[in-house]
């Protein structure tokens, strides 16, 4: 995990231990940027969803990720306290101790026309996605779920939507960008904060939502519920 803003004093004192159910370096950077201290424990749950619309889809997937890690944290605590029957827990969760905790799950997709784009399956798929996005507008959806261990248990989900407008890209530009490897772990096969910035005409909405986590909305939702 990267440290917060260098030289800054912004640190959010939190009564909960925050667990990020994602290994995304971009989400880690964004949480650190707003001064939150957290532990990373990515969910390994296979993504399956029944939702059709992109907003409902990302909320459902973010819920699955947060719930998966929450269940592991709970089982870890049961095991530590000597209650029989607890399943095996990953060693990475041992640092949680007996503190109250909040698990944050997130998922991002791109919606272009009627097609929902996740991470590309390979270079050919990345080129196909970028060809579809170039020269037009699309929407980026990020769903967020927070599940908290406390009295009572706190659970909520939401999603944010941002419109992104692309400049036209030639086939040569698309192929050159895909060869950098940057698109391969990103929804829609591009990173707005990376080299693809050269092809972004503009956005309408939350920039951080496109990067992968609407931290402004997340902070406000947590603050309203006295979770910060």
* Residue numbers annotated as active site: 107
Half-sphere exposure of 76 (CA within 13 A, CB side): 19
C-alpha gyration radius of the chain: 19
**Three-class SS state of 159:** strand
Strand duo 17-20 + 38-40: pairing: parallel
Q: Considering only CA atoms, which of 74, 61, 141 is closest in space to residue 105?
A: 61
Q: How far apart are CA 125 and CA 134, in angstroms?
A: 14
Half-sphere exposure of 16 (CA within 13 A, CB side): 22
Give the dihedral sign, CA 32/106/45/102.
positive
Residues 105/62, Cβ–Cβ less than 8 Å: yes
- Cis link prior to 61 (omega < 30° from 0)? no
Q: How far apart are CA 120 and CA 129, in angstroms?
A: 8
């Amino acid at each position: 995990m990267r440290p917060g803003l260098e030289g800054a004093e912004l640190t959010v004192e939190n009564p909960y231990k925050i667990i990020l159910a994602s290994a995304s370096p971009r989400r880690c950077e964004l949480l650190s940027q707003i001064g939150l201290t957290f532990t990373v424990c990515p969910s390994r749950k296979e993504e399956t969803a029944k939702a059709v619309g992109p907003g409902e889809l990302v909320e459902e997937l973010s819920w699955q990720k947060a719930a998966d890690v929450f269940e592991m944290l709970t089982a870890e605590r049961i095991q530590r306290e000597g209650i029989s029957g607890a399943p095996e827990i990953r060693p990475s969760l041992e640092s949680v101790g007996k503190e109250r905790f909040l698990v944050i799950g997130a998922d991002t997709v791109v919606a272009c026309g009627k097609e929902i784009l996740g991470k590309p399956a390979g270079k050919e798929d990345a080129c196909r996605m970028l060809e579809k996005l170039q020269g037009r507008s699309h929407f980026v959806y990020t769903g967020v779920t927070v599940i908290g261990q406390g009295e009572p248990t706190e659970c909520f989900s939401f999603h944010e939507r941002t419109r992104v407008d692309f400049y036209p890209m030639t086939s040569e530009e698309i192929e050159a960008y895909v060869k950098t490897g940057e698109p391969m772990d990103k929804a829609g096969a591009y990173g707005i904060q990376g080299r693809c910035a050269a092809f972004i005409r503009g956005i309408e909405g939350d920039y951080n939502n496109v990067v992968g986590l609407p931290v402004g909305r997340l902070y406000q939702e947590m603050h309203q519920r006295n979770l910060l």
